Amino acid sequence: MSADPPARAGASGSGLMLECAGVWKVFGDGASDLLAERAGAVTLEDLHTRGLIGAVRDASLRVREGEIFVIMGLSGSGKSTLVRCMSRLIEPSAGRILFDGEDLLGMPEKKLIELRRHEMGMVFQHFALLPHLNVLGNVAFPLEVQGMARREREGRAMEVIELVGLSGRERYYPRELSGGQQQRVGIARSLAVEPRIWFLDEPFSALDPLIRREMQDEFMRLQSMLRKTIVFITHDFDEAIRLADRIAIMKDGAIIQIGTPEELVTHPADDYVADFTREIPRAKVLSVRAVMGEPVESWAGEVRAKEKVQEVAAAVARGRAPFAVLDESGAVVGSLTREDIFRVLVGLETRA
Amino acid sequence: MSAPASRDRWLAAGLPRRYAIAWLVLLLVAIAVHLARGALPALATYPEPWFLPLRFWVSDLMKWLVNDFDLGLFTFQEMTRSIAWLLEWPLRAAQSLFAEGFSRGIGRDAEEIVPRIPWIALIVACALMGLSARGRGLAALVAGALLYLAVFGQWDSAMVTLASIVIAVPLGAGAGLLLGIAGFRSVRLERVLVPLLDLMQTVPIFAYLVPVLFLFGFGPVAAMVATIIYATPPMVRVTMLALRQVPADVVEFGRMAGCSRRQLLWKVLVPSARPSLMVGINQVIMLSLNMVIIASMIGAGGLGYDVLTSLKRLRIGDGVEAGLAITLLAIALDRLSQAFANRPPRAHRDTTPPFFRRHPFLIAATALLAVSWMAGSVLPGVQDYPETLEISTAQMWSDLIKWINVNFYDHLEAVKTWLLFHLLIPVKRFLTTVPWIAVVAAVAIAGHRLGGWRLAALTGSLALFMAVTGNWEKSMITVYLCGVSVLVASLIGIPVGIWAARNERVHRVVQVVIDTLQTLPSFVYLIPVVMLFRVGDFSAMIAVVAYAVAPAVRYTAHGLRQVPAQLIEAATAAGCTRRQTLWKVQFPIALPEIMLGINQTIMLALSMLVITALVGTRDLGQEVYIALTKADTGRGIVAGLCVAFIAIISDRLISAWVRRKKRELGLE
């Protein structure tokens, strides 16, 4: 289902930032013995009979450089545990994790601290701001821990504070800020060290729906400027669809499917995934390429193949003739009719 | 058809029935042993030849520690004495600063170089602290309390006490913080620390005064060591709890930011836990004050010494004055430290003003100190409160007490006699005649019922300890005095708590009263009691009730108030009257919380009982006190352990009951 390129471990610049292979996190006595003994071939029943809890079961995934990789699952699905394994906040019971080709799990404490100080940033669901520091102090904290001089780190912190739109509030204390503003501080703080990988653990779940929407837009604005490699955790499928380049869906600790939003909607791996995708407005997810027909002789206008149906729907529906579909190079690869738009909007089978 | 059904019912009821049978058997055995005490004396009264000479072993161990224990380069006693020497420096500096002034030379040749802090400067400085921490009300309260000390001639003694506090509190709080951090970091250490803290907080203070005396010598330093030992445990507990309560994601953030272990502790955990840690410091201050008073017996001097001597000489007026001084000092210190703990968190400022604008109070206090110190050398009235303006109310208090005793003697005596004959003496007689073996068994069965075999083994063996070490009768007298006092305290405290829970105005008044009651050092309670009821068990009971009633009130009110509003709405909707709502809904749900309050009341009662040894009880407290006066380490420690074990038995049983009840109610 996933369109992963073959992994070239150890090669920086391969486009692969983080790789998890067969990662397990099992809570309970004797968990690692069981996993070692069975070489990872452990079922849910095995765990049940031994009174163990499999928070993450045999998770494998690859995060490419510069992509937004969303891990989506309901509460208790193990998504938070998995992201904590990726940063080694939680020690996995078994498996292999490579960060930029380097073995993360075998890394000595000192090197890990260096890695966290310079390469990783994390945003937390409940903000996790330090109550005794003001905005400036909070944002500068990761730099302070590195041992950066006050003037330098505060200068850098001011830049990031401006980036997230909190200029003028740098002397406020966390309790003086609204939830949305607090999370802006959390975001600024995690970006202060210019991390190469950016973990966001349900960053907008604690916010009101309107603020959440605003913060998602803000997040996309930042990402369009920064092009970070992102692992984003959410329990909200709409949010996943909105933000993701690719999505991994988790259930009971296992990854069920990895794919682009479009792949998940068009080819759900099972009923569980299909249940999520059913309510999703297709027009927002499907690209023109997924619903277009054969090229035709004359057309009323042009659309691009990678555009979402939603974006072109109004224009095509108003047109009297089919539209031509162009690929990146500008060549005509297909056509789009009012009927195609109509089928997507009412949820009928597309002719593709 | 009916046979299996009835068997099921029997099985379902099996557990309680088994215990009912156990209790019945126990009762019969107890009666049998009592009747056959002529034939089987060993079962009724623990026979003397079986006593374990534990107290002599402890004394010998102490002797060995003091005389022979050699650590190689130096002996154990040399070590403790050098610690004492080290501690003496800051203490002497504080004494000079607050009480005596700095001087050169010894004895009569002493020549004062710098006088102590002028009284005016101290009062204004403390008022400024109150102003900066809370506002004018607190400033007035603190200034008023200190002014009392000056006007009523208590200044010198109070300053000696204050100097000890000023040194003991940072040491106790610092040691508590470090131990708490160590316990937080190492689960293994925590497992050792927690029972040790339990013991330290339940073994009566008097019991460890003797070893402290041996190791650190008589005098203010030994008193301070005892104070620190007494005041540190709550800080250790608060620290472990506070660090553990730092939200998990804040800790995770610290780790993700790349903090080293040390950075994580000092830059993330401790600052995040600061508000809770301040509560711990407030406790250290209050316990230190409590202990400094008691420590006057081993040479701390100060207000406690004044109270003690006037009690001994029955100079009632002086005692009341000094007691009031302690009370006011305690209230001032408590309110001040609480205000600092609860100070509203800082709000942002748009610019950073210069230093003197940021700290106006600090600058003002420093300037005032300098000015008054200089002015003091010219104007003695600035330096020391003029003696001619001192007022004494001692005579008035003596007269008042005399008047009460003359006019109400019969009434007071009637109440006392009635309670003695109808409550105290019967309970005492019962507890001292029940065969020891039956009591031990009862405690073990209760332990089994509430917490299984482990708890049964713990409570049973702790009870056995009292018999084996030859303290059985004194222990039973302690149980009797404590039990009666707790009963009376509950009979007063629970209704007051209910009243406070149902009436906001009452609640506010009650809150102030019990806050004040809990602020007062235990010693203070003895003064009025002795004056009105003289010595004996009844006086002890009154003092214990007054000291221990606060938690019963507080927990009852709190328990009732935290019953979810929707349950009360549901009861009202079902047509309950206010009375029915209280007894059928609120009370059952609040019962576990109320029992926790009773548990606290028991703990306070036991700690107060030991102090009431000064008014002539015959329980373990007296035993500990006698050991103190005779400097008998073993006797004091063993009796002290018995007190601690009574506390631990009741605490474990009640806690187990509360846990089970809360689980049943789905409150956990």
pLDDT on residue A1: 40
Q: What residues in A contact B266, CB-CB < 8 Å?
A: none
Measured between alpha carbons, how far is B572 from A297 in angstroms, rounded to an integer?
78
Q: What residues in B contact A127, CB-CB < 8 Å?
A: 249
Q: Are residues A199 and A342 in the same domain?
A: no
Q: Name the residue in chain B with its Cα closest to that of A141.
A: B257
B476 belongs to a structural domain:
yes
> How is residue B289 written in tokens?
């004050």
Domain of residue B507, residue span: 401-433+469-664
A221 belongs to a structural domain:
yes
Give how many domains chain A has, as a whole number: 2
A148 belongs to a structural domain:
no
Q: How confident is the model at residue B401 (pLDDT cuts 50, 70, 90)?
A: confident
Q: Are residues A267 and A293 in the same domain?
A: no
Q: Are residues A227 and A110 in the same domain?
A: yes
Q: B250 in contact with A at a CB cutoff of 8 Å?
A: yes
The closest of B400, B321, B286, B339 to B158, measured between CA atoms, is: B321
> How is residue B150 written in tokens?
């000056």
Please say if the pLDDT value at position A6 is more than 50.
Answer: no
Q: Are residues A274 and A288 in the same domain?
A: no
What's the whole-number average pLDDT of chain B? 85
Domain of residue A225, residue span: 16-119+195-280
Q: Which of A107, A116, A130 to mutate to test the interface with B (most CBs of B within 10 A)?
A: A130
Measured between alpha carbons, how far is B621 from B603 in angstroms, rounded to an integer?
14
| Contact yes or no for B271 and A132 at CB 8 A | yes
B7 belongs to a structural domain:
no
Q: Are residues A273 and A289 in the same domain?
A: no
DSSP secondary structure string for all residues of A137-168: HHHHHHHHHHT--HHHHHHHHHHHHHHTT-TT
pLDDT on residue A139: 95
pLDDT digits (tens, 9 = 90+) for A178-193: 999 999 999 999 999 9
Measured between alpha carbons, how far is B449 from B439 in angstroms, rounded to an integer?
15
How many beta-carbon pairs below 8 A join chains A and B?
A: 71
pTM: 0.82
Interface list for A 139-168 with B (CB within 8 A): 141-142, 144-146
A44 belongs to a structural domain:
yes
The closest of A144, A156, A166 to A192, measured between CA atoms, is: A156
The closest of B469, B635, B643 to B59, measured between CA atoms, is: B635
| Contact yes or no for B253 and A128 at CB 8 A | yes
The closest of B519, B158, B525, B141 to B320, measured between CA atoms, is: B525
Q: Are residues A201 and A339 in the same domain?
A: no
B417 belongs to a structural domain:
yes
Nearest CB neighbour to B250, from listed A115, A120, A130: A130
pLDDT digits (tens, 9 = 90+) for B410-461: 888 888 889 888 888 898 888 888 888 888 989 999 998 888 899 999 999 9
Q: Which residues pair with A70 in a beta bridge?
A: A232, A247
Measured between alpha carbons, how far is B119 from B390 in angstroms, rounded to an integer?
13
Nearest CB neighbour to B346, from listed A127, A142, A173: A173
Q: Give yes or no for a contact between B66 and B77, defined as CB atoms under 8 angstroms apart.
A: yes
B535 belongs to a structural domain:
yes
Q: Are residues A262 and A208 in the same domain?
A: yes
Q: Are residues A232 and A274 in the same domain?
A: yes
Percent helix, strand and coil across chain A, each rounded to 5?
Answer: 40, 25, 40
Of A280, A315, A336, the residue at which a domain comes to its end is: A280
CATH number of the domain residue B586 falls in:
1.10.3720.10
Q: Name the residue in chain A with its Cα closest to that of B348.
A: A172
A135 belongs to a structural domain:
no
Q: Are residues A93 and A212 in the same domain?
A: yes
> How is residue B314 written in tokens?
């029955």
Please say if the pLDDT value at position A4 is more than 50.
Answer: no
CATH number of the domain residue A336 falls in:
3.90.1280.20
B140 belongs to a structural domain:
no
Give how many domains chain B has, as a whole number: 1
| Contact yes or no for A118 and B263 at CB 8 A | no
Measured between alpha carbons, how far is A282 from A344 in angstroms, rounded to an integer?
6
Q: Which residues in B51-71 are b (16+ Cβ under 10 Å) and which e? A: eeebbeebbeebeebbeeeee
Please say if the pLDDT value at position A203 is more than 90.
Answer: yes
Q: Are residues A261 and A322 in the same domain?
A: no
The closest of B167, B309, B303, B155 to B227, measured between CA atoms, is: B167
B550 belongs to a structural domain:
yes
| Contact yes or no for A113 and B260 at CB 8 A | yes
B477 belongs to a structural domain:
yes
pLDDT digits (tens, 9 = 90+) for A42-54: 787 888 888 888 8
A72 belongs to a structural domain:
yes
B484 belongs to a structural domain:
yes
A207 belongs to a structural domain:
yes
Q: Give yes or no for a contact between B65 and B76, defined as CB atoms under 8 angstroms apart.
A: yes
| Contact yes or no for B258 and A128 at CB 8 A | no
A157 belongs to a structural domain:
no
Q: Are residues A239 and A110 in the same domain?
A: yes
Q: Range with the lowest mean pLDDT among A130-144, B233-247, B384-398, B477-491?
A: B384-398
| Contact yes or no for A141 and B271 at CB 8 A | no
B245/chain A closest Cα distance in angstroms: 13
pLDDT digits (tens, 9 = 90+) for B310-360: 877 877 788 888 888 888 888 898 888 888 887 776 677 766 667 767 777
pLDDT on residue B395: 80
Q: What's the whole-number mean pLDDT along residues B289-308?
A: 80
A36 belongs to a structural domain:
yes
Q: What's the whole-number mean pLDDT along residues B103-114?
A: 70
pLDDT digits (tens, 9 = 90+) for B497-521: 999 988 889 999 998 888 888 778 8
Q: Are residues A101 and A221 in the same domain?
A: yes
Q: B272 in contact with A at a CB cutoff of 8 Å?
A: yes
CA torsion through residues A141, A145, A149, A153, sign = negative
CATH number of the domain residue A86 falls in:
3.40.50.300
What's the whole-number average pLDDT of chain A? 87
Of A241, A258, A280, the residue at which a domain comes to its end is: A280
